[in-house]
């Protein structure tokens, strides 16, 4: 991404550099992204802007600002001629808002990334999770199907859909979801397949295994750990409370994974693809790597708290992404240890700033994130 000195996305600077401009008489490709304020939405937006797209994001109303991950890409709408990323209010639970933006923008590509994406929270709010994750996808598919110019559609599927199916998991492995979130994602997966088969929609399911980054939400286990490592290293806290340490996940870097989403929509035919590093590590191994990187012993700082155990767990995920590697030419660039270091380095910087504020009495150091 191209940023000016004050961190604001600078179209002129970007266009002067490598960003493709449309040919005379051509319009820019238009992408519509739900979940644009989330981890993947921000990386996908950067990627699409770099490809010369105009990116429209649907954001939901919140009493707090929820656009922090996009601030570096934001151009004031009063400078609208320059802005290639635009944000609009809508909600996956509000069909009319989806329909209106799809019809108004006539996008070339729609990326459905919005979700109540926390597995443990989906046990607390199952009905809402199903409404946004499953029915929300159906509402968006309907909006796309009914549009005068149906866009290519990407559905953010998840390795959670495999649940208790043993690894390696590929496109042909059976789904056995273990949470309301995962069951809702299975429904969204089949809605997408059905709209492809029934209406000939160019609709793809990406079945993405866990992907993380410094922008990962702070209540997912990797980020929870790296935030704690930064703060413990700087003396801002001493303990971190966690649940099941023996679960194994196939963890990749989000920046690599959004590229696969785009690649799926550039193919001649729509299809479903597993995207994974094909390497699996336990939560304990992540702890070892993250604490070890800054010279700390994780066992001295981790406390097991039963509240973080889930009513049903997914024990072991390890993807087989050979289809995506062969058909899309995709492969991950960032490995496990590099990912851990990237996240810890980032969170050490945050902790340093917190320490300055805490030492000056502006924040309470004991107020853990
Ligand atoms: P995040 O939780 O970081 O982002 C979710 C996004 O959805 C946010 O922008 C959020 O808005 C938005 N959202 C939530 N509810 C609604 C709603 N009712 N209407 C409109 N928008 C809503 O998720 P990730 O970026 O990590 O993941 C992106 C997608 O990929 C999700 O669908 C997730 O389930 C799926 N996925 C993620 C994987 C991962 O490892 N990260 C792996 C496989 C699938 P707000 O910012 O306001 O909360
Ligand atoms: P996951 O990610 O459930 O795989 O879903 P998460 O990081 O929440 O959990 C991974 C594993 O860590 C264990 N764990 C803890 N998890 C959290 N959140 N907090 C803890 O304190 C803790 N202690 C141990 C969990 O039990 C689990 O086994 C993520 C989300 O991004 C989904 O939206 C996405 O679909 C999948 O990845 C692929």
ipTM of the modeled complex = 0.99
Lowest-confidence region among 119-128, 155-164, 284-293, 357-366: 357-366
Find out whether 33 and 262 touch, Cβ atoms under 8 Å.
no
Pocket test for ligand 1, best of 32, 33, 34, 35 (most atoms within 8 A of CB): 35
Does residue 308 carry a catalytic annotation?
A: no
Determine the pLDDT at residue 18.
62
Give the pLDDT confidence of 218-242 residue by residue, as tens digits: 999 999 999 999 999 999 999 999 9
Residue range 11-217+250-280+315-335 in CATH 3.40.50.2300: no
Other C-beta atoms closer than 10 Å to the C-beta of 63 total 5
**Is the model more confident about 46 or about 77?**
46
Range with the lowest mean pLDDT among 5-9, 156-160, 255-259, 326-330?
5-9
What spacing in Å lies between the alpha carbon of 105 and ligand 2's midpoint? 35
Ligand having the closest approach to the CA of 121: 2
| pLDDT for residue 10 is more than 60 | no
From start to end of the chain, where are the E strands? 30-34, 54-59, 85-89, 109-112, 152-158, 203-208, 211-212, 240-242, 248-249, 252-253, 272-275, 281-282, 302-304
Hey, which of 243, 280, 314 would you mutate to test ligand 2's pocket, going by the most ligand atoms within 8 Å of its Cβ?
243
Among 220, 261, 276, 308, which is best to mutate for testing ligand 2, by the most ligand atoms less than 8 A from CB? Answer: 220
Classify 217 as helix, strand or coil: coil
Give me the pLDDT at residue 111, please.
99
Of the pLDDT bands very low, low, confident and very high (cuts 50, 70, 90), residue 6 is very low
List b or e across 212-228, with b for residues whose CB sees 16 or more CB atoms inside 10 angstroms: bbbbbeeebbbbbbbbb
Dist. CA 35 → ligand 1 center (Å): 5
Query: Atom of ligand 2 at shortest distance to CA of 305?
Result: 21
Find the angle CA(124)-CA(126)-CA(130) to the nearest 5 degrees: 150
Ligand nearest to the CA of 206: 1
Q: How far is the CA of 238 from the centre of ligand 1 (A)?
A: 30
* 305 Cβ neighbours under 8 A, 6+ residues apart: 241, 242, 243
Any catalytic annotation for residue 259?
no
pLDDT 10s digits, 54-113: 999 999 999 999 999 999 998 887 776 778 999 999 999 999 999 999 999 999 999 999
Annotated catalytic residue 147: no
What local confidence, expressed as pLDDT, does residue 207 receive?
A: 99
Distance 37 CA to ligand 1 centre (A): 8
Q: Name which residue sits closest to atom 17 of ligand 2, judged by CA.
A: 221
pLDDT at 12 over 70: no
182 ligand 1 Cβ < 6 A:
no
Q: Quick check: 30 and 53 in contact, CB under 8 A?
A: yes
Interhelix angle for 336-359 vs 283-293, to 10°? 60
Query: Domain map of the chain by residue range?
Result: 11-217+250-280+315-335
The pLDDT, as a whole number, for residue 368 is 67
203-208, strands of its sheet edge to edge: 85-89, 54-59, 30-34, 109-112, 152-158, 203-208, 272-275
The residue-averaged pLDDT of 185-214 equals: 99
319 CB within 6 A, ligand 1: no
| pLDDT tens profile 251-274 | 999 999 999 999 999 999 999 999
Q: What is the mean pLDDT of the chain?
A: 94
Among residues of the chain, what percentage have pLDDT more than 70?
Answer: 94
Q: Which two tokens stand for residue 86?
A: 């635009």
């Amino acid at each position: 991404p191209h940023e000016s000195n004050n961190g604001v996305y600078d179209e002129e600077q970007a266009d002067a550099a490598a960003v493709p401009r449309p040919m005379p008489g051509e319009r820019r490709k238009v992408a519509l992204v739900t979940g644009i304020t989330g981890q993947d939405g921000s990386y996908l937006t950067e990627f699409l802007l770099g490809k010369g797209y105009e990116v429209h994001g649907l954001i939901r109303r919140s009493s707090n600002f929820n656009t922090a991950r996009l601030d570096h890409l934001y151009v004031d709408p009063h400078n609208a001629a320059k802005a290639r990323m635009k944000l609009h209010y809508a909600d996956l639970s509000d069909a009319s808002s989806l329909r209106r933006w799809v019809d108004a923008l006539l996008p070339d590509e729609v990326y459905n990334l919005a979700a109540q994406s926390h597995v443990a929270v989906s046990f607390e709010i199952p009905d809402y999770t199903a409404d946004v994750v499953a029915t929300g996808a159906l509402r968006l598919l309907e909006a796309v199907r009914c549009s005068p110019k149906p866009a290519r559609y990407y559905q953010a599927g998840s390795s959670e859909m495999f649940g208790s199916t043993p690894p390696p998991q590929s496109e042909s492995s059976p789904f056995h979801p273990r949470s309301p979130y995962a069951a809702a994602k299975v429904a969204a997966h089949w809605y997408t397949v059905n709209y492809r088969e029934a209406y000939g929609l160019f609709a793809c399911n990406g079945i993405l295994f866990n992907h993380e980054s410094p922008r990962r939400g702070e209540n997912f286990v990797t980020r929870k750990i790296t935030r704690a490592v930064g703060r413990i290293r700087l003396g801002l806290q001493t303990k971190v409370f966690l649940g099941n340490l023996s679960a194994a996940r196939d963890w990749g870097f989000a920046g690599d994974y959004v590229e696969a989403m785009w690649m799926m929509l550039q193919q001649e035919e729509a299809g479903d693809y597993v995207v994974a590093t094909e390497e699996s590590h336990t939560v304990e191994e992540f702890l070892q790597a993250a604490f070890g990187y800054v010279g700390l012993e994780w066992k001295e700082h981790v406390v097991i708290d039963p509240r973080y155990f889930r009513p049903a767990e997914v024990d072991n995920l390890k993807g087989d992404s050979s289809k995506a590697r062969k058909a899309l030419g995709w492969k991950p660039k960032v490995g496990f240890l590099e990912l851990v270091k990237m996240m810890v380095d980032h969170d050490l910087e945050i902790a340093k700033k917190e320490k300055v504020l805490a030492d000056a009495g502006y924040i309470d150091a004991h107020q853990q994130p």
